[in-house]
Amino acid sequence: MSHAASSPSRQERLLAFLASPDSYPHRPASVELIQTHISIVALAPPWVYKIKKPVDFGFLDFTTLEQRRHYCEEEVRLNRRLCEELYVGVVPLYGAADTFSWTEGDDVVEVAVKMHQLDPAYFLDAWLDRDALTDAHLDRVVERLAAFYEALPGSPAAASWGRPQRLRISIDENFDQTEAMVGQAVSAPAFEALRFFMDRFLDAHARLLHHRRSAGHVVDGHGDLRLEHIHLTDERVCIYDCIEFSQRLRAVDVANDVAFLAMDLDMHDRPALARTFADRMADALDDPDLLHLIDFYKSYRAHVRAKIEGFQDLDAMTDPQRHRHQQRARRFFQLALRYAVADSGPFVLIVMGSVATGKSTQAATLGDVLGWPVVSSDRVRKETAGVPLHERPDDATRDALYAAERTETVYATLAEDALTHAAQGRGIILDATFSRRTHRDALRERLRSQKTPYCVVELTARDEVIRARLAQREDSADVVSDARLADLSMLRDRYEPPDAREDAFHLTIDASGTPDETTQQILTDLIRLRL
């Protein structure tokens, strides 16, 4: 028995109307539709029409037409502060039965923000894609923003959102609204470490946060300062698309606003530009404390962006689109955790310890949650000798592999990789026993000579745990290390444990528990050390 096809929903009819060039009085040659989690944007040259979706995410509520009209008007009012010439105004969309019209009708069924269309080649993300964004471009953005912030009138209502307990509202909302992403875009240890960092930072810096509120650094700002919201031509700097739907999310510390764009530059793998932008904003505003807060706010902003990726309608997407959003959410979580553990700059994390203490497991896990490369001495040793990674070689090959001269080469390679990544402003994880103090001293001196931040994480484990792990290796086909239970006594004799005076940046962690427990302990201890 056949069934009639179901009639299209109102949303489907609206999308079809917006997508048709015939729907517009000026009959554009083509129309491009872009959808976000909260808006439908119709690019109908030379105009852009932006309609808000009837959604409620807690931090915004567009479920009624009057709410959508109000926030369209707010969008125009607020964005004219930084790009007055872009916004035409709020226009009605009429509807009757199954039809829509921009020009006539009895009932207004939607409203839209109407704007001039900007040349897509001049958005900052497009400049980056061409590898053409320079410090001089950022200087113009800095000048525009600094003038904007300094001209804003003082507002007690806006400043009140700078109180730490009110800042917690937005931070806690991030965690509440991303908890469902744990196990997919972020691991449980990483998620809890981020929560620990936020709580610890707010408590440790409460005095500074209160001072900034009272000193006027919390303003009714932009709230969504991303690369794609800044348009830069020879004639002007246009900054648009601020948050209109929530004063809580728009009334922020200037450092919070600045952090969003700096984080976005980091996300696009431009750490040097991110540092330049932050430094020059601090100089332009005569605000050195901005730099003390920016990594905290960068972490917060990266978490916000991870959350937004999770708000996308994944069920309506193709598999490649869904995968792209999930990967972007994962990368934003990695970035948020990096700021918590190591600030914005380069960092070398050295995971060391005696045999079977879990070094390689933890190094790989930390590499995954932080998005940093892992350089393993076991892999370097075998790859440079042409020995299969998961094959335990015969005695003669082992003797050659572990000869003193080759060991020196392996540790020199680890040091070179660490310094190369650090010079690029990036983080890296080294995975090796570092059983000889001479190897530790040599690496430490090289890192200090380049002023490269680092931390040593030394793993230990109870004897019965070590023996059980070595016994499991006998039947494992995916172990790179050649160490087995029969080697335990010999390897222990060779291990020179660090003493308490060897290094200030040294954590000792018992890895006898589950891998997740150990990972969380490492991350929280690194955050304690950083703060």
Res 418 pLDDT > 50: yes
Would you place residue 7 in the very low, low, confident or very high pLDDT band (cuts 50, 70, 90)?
low
Separation CA 54–CA 64 (nearest Å): 7
**pLDDT higher at 466 or 316:** 466
CB 7 within 8 A of CB 19: no
Residues 6+ apart with CB under 8 A from 389: 379, 382, 383, 480
Per DSSP, helices labelled H in 205-318 are 206-214, 247-250, 254-267, 271-284, 290-311
Residues 497-516: pLDDT tens digits?
A: 999 899 889 999 999 999 99
**How is the chain split among helix, strand and coil, in percent rounded to 5?**
55, 15, 30
| Nearest in space to 259 (alpha carbons), one of 336, 186, 195 | 336
Rounded to whole angstroms, how far apart are CA atoms 448 and 508? 21
Q: Over the stretch 359-409, which tens digit does the pLDDT of each residue have? A: 999 999 999 999 999 999 999 998 888 888 777 777 787 878 888 899 999
- Write the CA distances from 411 to 226, 418, 446, 487, 494, integer angstroms: 41, 11, 12, 21, 16
Residue-level pLDDT at 251:
93
Strands 32-35 and 39-44, bridge-based pairing: antiparallel
pTM of the model: 0.91
Tokens read off for 498: 């660090």
According to DSSP, the residues that pair with 77 across neighbouring strands are none
Q: Choose between 3 and 242: higher pLDDT.
A: 242
Fold match, 122-340 / 346-530 = no
Whole-number pLDDT of residue 313: 65
d(CA 240, CA 271): 24
Q: Collapsing DSSP states into helix, strand and coil, what is residue 388?
A: coil
Closest CA to 185 of 335, 23, 373, 354: 335
What phi-psi label fits residue 374: left (phi over 0), alpha (psi between -120 and 50 degrees) or beta? beta
**What is the average pLDDT value for the chain, to the nearest integer?**
92
Residue 6: pLDDT band (50, 70, 90) is low
Query: What does the pLDDT look like over 37-56, one tens digit per residue?
Result: 899 999 999 999 999 999 99
Closest listed residue to residue 357, CA positions, set 495, 201, 242, 237 = 495
Q: Say which amino acid occupies 46.
A: P
Domain 122-340 bears CATH identifier 3.90.1200:
yes
User: Encoding tokens for residue 83?
Assistant: 């790009």
Percent of the chain with pLDDT over 70: 96
User: Parallel, antiparallel, or unpaired: how do β-strands 427-431 and 347-353 relate?
Assistant: parallel
Q: Is CATH 3.40.1550.10 correct for 346-530?
A: no
Q: Which residue has the higher pLDDT, 371 or 57?
A: 371
| 493-498, long-range: CB < 8 A, 24+ apart | 494/435, 494/436, 495/354, 495/355, 495/433, 495/435, 496/435, 496/436, 496/437, 497/354, 497/458, 498/437, 498/440, 498/456, 498/458
pLDDT digits (tens, 9 = 90+) for 267-301: 999 999 999 999 999 999 999 999 999 999 999 99
User: What's the pLDDT score for residue 97?
Assistant: 67
The pLDDT value given to residue 106: 79
Bridge partners of 440, per DSSP, are none
Instruction: Kindly indicate the confidence band of residue 317, based on its pLDDT and cuts at 50, 70 and 90.
Output: confident
Residues in Cβ contact with 465 at an 8 Å cutoff, skipping those fewer than 6 apart:
356, 512
Distances (CA, A) of 365 to 67, 204, 361, 425, 513: 45, 28, 6, 21, 15
Whether the per-residue pLDDT at 110 is higher than 80: the answer is yes
- DSSP category for residue 390: T
**Which region among 102-106, 255-259, 330-334 has the lowest average model confidence (pLDDT)?**
102-106
What single-letter DSSP state applies at residue 237? E
* DSSP string across 274-302: HHHHHHHHHHHTT-TTHHHHHHHHHHHHH
The 3-class secondary structure across 90-135, one letter per residue, is EEEEEEECCEEECCCCCEEEEEEEEEECCCHHHEHHHHHHCCCCCH
Task: Output 191 or 468, whichever has higher pLDDT.
Answer: 191
Mean pLDDT of 491-498: 86
Q: Is 240 helix (H, G, I), strand (E, B) or coil?
A: coil
